[in-house]
Amino acid sequence: MAETLSTLGVPLRLANDDRGVYRRSDTRFFLFSQEVGHLVVQEPAKEKPGAEAASVVTTEISPTERGTTPARPRVQRVSTRHDDRYILLKKFEGFVISRGERSFTARLFENSSDYPVVEAEFDLEEISETDRELAIEGAALVWTIGYGYDGSTRKRESTIYLRRLPPWSEKEIAQARQAASELSRGIQWE
Amino acid sequence: MASSGNNQKAPPEPQELEVSVFGPGYGECVVLHLGDGHWGAVDSCLDLGSKRPAALHYLESLGVDVEAALRFVVATHWHDDHLQGIKEVFHRAKAAVFSCTEAVRQPEFDQFLGAWAGTRFLAGGSGIDELHRILTELKDRNPGTRYPLPRLASANKVLWERTMQPSATVKALSPSDAAVFAAIAQLRTAMSEPSKARRRLPNLKPNDASVVLSVQVGHHRVLLGSDLQVRKDHGLGWMAVVDGIEAGAGSHQVFKVPHHGSPNGDHDEVWNRMLALQPWAATTPFVSGDVRLPSVGDCQRILGRTPNAYLTAPPQAVKFRDPDRTVEKTVNEAALSAHFVPGKYGHVRLRKGISEPAGCAWRVELFGHALSLEKYVLAAH
């Protein structure tokens, strides 16, 4: 029987559990990508004489038991979790105030009560080809700045995209005009 | 001569006129004291320090009872930079007559106002939102009518007056009928339509429906040029104003230079027929996108008209900064340029006793980043 050891002492799970277990092709380790902490499973080498069949039932080893575990299997510490965190440093929302041939300018807010606000000019290359036609005066946009993780790699990211707001509906426009008309009729001018 | 003001909180004497111009580089506000503790506010911008409407911040610092003493509030046009915070100013001014362009009375404006209401959730607000909220407040104020009724501004219409001595009149010189129609035609082009993507209301140009004001107290006159531009059509813009002025309505001694000193707001006939020789002039900067007004050339042109010209702040952007160095670095890498709007902020204050002769000099005080145009031009060179 194969045993598993947690390098962090976290609860262990079955190696053949279907919850995100995969095997690295270059090793004999099963890695639990979804688990918290680092978890290593050593598959018994079938070719070795005397090895048990890999029924791969795992056993949790409590800290108290750990010291008394006889004949520990060969366990190697590896980083198992795929880190895909994103740390947001800044998020601006805003709108396009002008559009040129190669660039556009936007007014940006972290909070709607911001004062002063930020105005920034961007090269159209900064946004996707599909977003470029949306970058007209008044168009809403979002700009996020943060750190993205890809495993052990950290990348500084700046992402700008135009918001695809739902188009006006006939009903909305009719209701808005009705409300404005009532507002206007309710005012007595001298 | 201007002095660097050191006592901004000193109120004017009861029989002293005041014209205070505030401008942060994006926004404009004029506060007037017409004597006897009667105040008025024209347009609105935010004070850069307190982030409150400049008029309220200033009047409260003087110890003025805004609710009773602010007698008129005028929104000259619906551009964002002239209306920031005006709803708050009007909300506080319970004794004030509200005035705005005649164009809002047209059915097309209702459609326009209503249709753009659906974009109010977008960040940043807009001038049209401010106007909508004022209209809502006007509707709420109507029952009982213990509030002064609002007045629509059109050419040669009196918006506020005081018949007791010293008499005072605030009169609109625009928009002309033709300008109202032109503005309505412009609104039609900006109507929202089904299937069109929702977006924020773009700024509509030119500002044909802008309200220009002539303020008279005793024999003193002040001309507030709003953002009115010069148009080829005689029925529009400054040409309509110049053609429409009544006999004896000229010789304004103080001029709020229109449209941030831009050449498209400058008209010879205004200087020749509506202003005194070498009047006191003040303007506000405009900094947005790649536009910087007034340019050094604009300042030189204005100085060619009068040496008594002032600017509430230089039209300079303030470079983007962030406490997080990574954010600052990324912003500066990702954007071709990034800066804060508005940038610098200042206040030009002109005061004069009502009993003083019309030709007598106004006392000029400069606060914050305000400076004379002459000084700005010298520094630019």
Whether A186 is covered by a domain: the verdict is no
- Partner-chain contact B110 A95, CB within 8 Å: no
Q: CA-nearest residue of chain B to A136?
A: B199
**Final residue of a structural domain among A79, A108, A138:** A79
Q: Does A173 touch chain B (CB under 8 A)?
A: yes
Whether A188 is covered by a domain: the verdict is no
Least Cα distance to A153 among A79, A99, A92 occurs for A79
CA distance A52 to chain B (A): 54
Q: Does B158 touch chain A (CB under 8 A)?
A: no
Q: What number of CA atoms fall less than 13 Å from residue A22's CA on the CB side?
A: 9
Whether A52 is covered by a domain: the verdict is yes
Q: CA-nearest residue of chain B to A175?
A: B114
**Mutation for testing the A interface, residue in B99, B135, B341, B344 having most A CBs under 10 Å:** B341
Task: Check which CATH number belongs to the domain holding A125 and give it.
Answer: 2.40.50
Q: CA-nearest residue of chain B to A178?
A: B114
* B92: enclosing H helix or E strand: helix B86-92
User: Do A122 and A74 fall into the same domain?
Assistant: no
Q: Does B303 touch chain A (CB under 8 A)?
A: no
User: Do A70 and A104 fall into the same domain?
Assistant: no
Whether A189 is covered by a domain: the verdict is no
User: Do A91 and A155 fall into the same domain?
Assistant: yes
Whether A56 is covered by a domain: the verdict is yes
- Partner-chain contact B195 A167, CB within 8 Å: yes
User: Do A153 and A134 fall into the same domain?
Assistant: yes
User: Do A104 and A157 fall into the same domain?
Assistant: yes
Ranges of beta strands (E only) in chain A are: 4-6, 21-23, 29-32, 39-42, 86-99, 103-109, 117-123, 140-150, 153-162
User: Tokens in use for B14?
Assistant: 């009861």
Query: Rounded to 5 degrees, what are φ and ψ at A66?
Result: -55, -40
User: Do A90 and A133 fall into the same domain?
Assistant: yes
Say if residue A47 is exposed, middle or buried (CB neighbours under 10 Å; 0-12, 13-18, 19+).
exposed
Cis? peptide before B175, omega within 30° of 0 = yes
User: Tokens in use for B112?
Assistant: 């326009």
**Stretch 72-131 of chain A: residues touching chain B, C-beta under 8 Å:** 89-90, 93-95, 97-98, 103, 105, 107, 109, 112-113, 115-123, 126
- CATH number of the B2-380 domain: 3.60.15
Q: Give contacts of A169 with chain B, Cβ < 8 Å.
A: 194
Whether A66 is covered by a domain: the verdict is yes
Domain that holds residue A119: 86-162
Of B110, B125, B201, the CB nearest to A184: B110
Q: Does B107 touch chain A (CB under 8 A)?
A: yes
Whether A177 is covered by a domain: the verdict is no
* Residues B214 and B223: beta-carbon distance below 8 Å: yes
How far is B93 from B146, CA to CA, in rounded Å? 13
Q: Give contacts of A90 with chain B, Cβ < 8 Å.
A: 322, 324, 327, 331
Least Cα distance to B158 among B97, B219, B248 occurs for B97
User: Tokens in use for B90?
Assistant: 């009007």
In DSSP terms, B349 is beta-bridged to B20, B365
Cα-based distances in Å from B232 to B176, B207, B239, B262: 14, 14, 8, 16
Q: Does B111 touch chain A (CB under 8 A)?
A: yes
User: Which residues have C-beta within 8 Å of that of residue B86, sequence separation ≥ 6?
Assistant: B41, B43, B44, B53, B73, B75, B130, B131, B134
Ranges of beta strands (E only) in B284-372 are: 286-288, 291-293, 309-311, 318-319, 337-341, 346-353, 363-368, 371-372
User: Do A94 and A64 fall into the same domain?
Assistant: no
pLDDT in tens, B49-107: 899 999 999 999 999 999 999 999 999 988 878 888 999 999 999 999 999 998 888 88
Q: Give contacts of B193 with chain A, Cβ < 8 Å.
A: 168, 173
**Res A87: pLDDT:** 94
- C-alpha torsion angle, residues B357, B361, B363, B369 (rounded to 10): 140
User: Do A110 and A75 fall into the same domain?
Assistant: no
User: Do A48 and A92 fall into the same domain?
Assistant: no
Q: CA-nearest residue of chain A to B24?
A: A116
Q: What is the pLDDT along chain A (190 residues), one digit of tens a residue?
A: 333 444 444 333 434 444 444 444 444 444 444 444 444 444 454 444 444 433 333 334 344 444 444 555 555 555 556 778 899 999 999 999 999 999 999 999 998 778 889 999 999 999 999 889 889 988 999 999 999 998 889 999 999 999 888 887 888 778 888 888 888 888 988 8
- Partner-chain contact A120 B331, CB within 8 Å: yes
Q: Where are the alpha helices (DSSP H) in B219-342?
A: 237-244, 268-269, 296-305, 325-334
CA distance A29 to chain B (A): 38
Helix axes B373-380, B296-305, angle to 10 degrees: 140
User: Do A47 and A111 fall into the same domain?
Assistant: no
How many CB atoms are located within 10 Å of the residue B56 CB?
A: 25
CA distance B307 to chain A (A): 32
Q: What is the pLDDT along chain B (381 residues), one digit of tens a residue?
A: 667 767 999 999 999 999 999 998 888 999 999 999 999 999 999 998 899 999 999 999 999 999 999 999 999 988 878 888 999 999 999 999 999 998 888 888 877 777 676 565 566 666 778 888 898 999 998 777 789 999 999 999 999 999 998 999 999 999 988 988 888 887 777 766 666 677 777 776 667 889 999 999 999 999 999 988 898 888 889 999 988 877 666 789 999 999 999 999 999 999 999 999 999 999 999 988 888 999 999 999 999 999 999 999 999 888 999 999 999 999 999 999 999 988 889 999 999 999 999 889 999 999 999 999 999 999 988
Q: Does A174 touch chain B (CB under 8 A)?
A: no
pLDDT in tens, B294-339: 999 999 999 999 999 999 999 988 899 999 999 999 999 999 999 9
Q: Give chain A's domain count.
A: 2
Least Cα distance to B208 among B243, B180, B247 occurs for B180
Whether A4 is covered by a domain: the verdict is no
CA distance A125 to chain B (A): 10
